[in-house]
Amino acid sequence: MEYYPEAVGRLIEALQQLPGIGPRTAQRLTFYLLSRPGAETQALADALSALRTEVVRCAVCFNVADVDPCRLCQNPSRDSRLLLVVEERPGSTEAATTCSKARSPPWKGLVQTTFA
């Protein structure tokens, strides 16, 4: 990216690391962000920063949360013997691959499994 200012080249390179973002899309996104007001791009930067400092994975269910264990797993009225396994959710398939072999596609409804 030697024909762009260093900051532009760094952002293009960083955006290309995201899934599904190639060089052309990264350039488009970079120039789109350059056209936006400073407050808007700062809000995006703050949201990205908060993602790393304020969000954790729950050690029980592997969901994203602001505390560990998450508020659902902390709920005393929750029956911990029941587990809802989601076939696939972006970024988290651990529960589907480690907790249960019973899988149900969303269009077939829920499968309830009780763990003793």
CA angle 12, 18, 20 (to 5 degrees): 105
The parent domain of residue 32 ranges over 6-54
Which domain CATH number covers 40?
Answer: 1.10.8.420
Q: Residue 11 corresponds to which tokens in the numbers above? A: 């952002």
Give pTM, 2 decimals: 0.61
The C-alpha torsion from 38 through 41 and 44 to 50, rounded to 10°, is: -50
Q: Residue 93 corresponds to which tokens in the numbers above? A: 């398939």
Question: In this model, does residue 10 exceed pLDDT 70?
Answer: yes
pLDDT score at 99: 46
Is 109 within the bounds of a domain?
no
Is 27 within the bounds of a domain?
yes
Average pLDDT, the chain: 81
Q: How many CA atoms lie within 13 A of 78 on its CB side?
A: 14
Split into its structural domains, the chain has a count of 1
Most confident by average pLDDT, 20-24, 77-81, 107-111: 20-24
SS (HEC) of 3-21: CCCHHHHHHHHHHHCCCCC
The predicted-structure confidence for 45-99, as pLDDT tens digits, reads as follows: 999 999 999 999 999 888 899 999 999 889 998 887 776 766 665 655 444 444 4
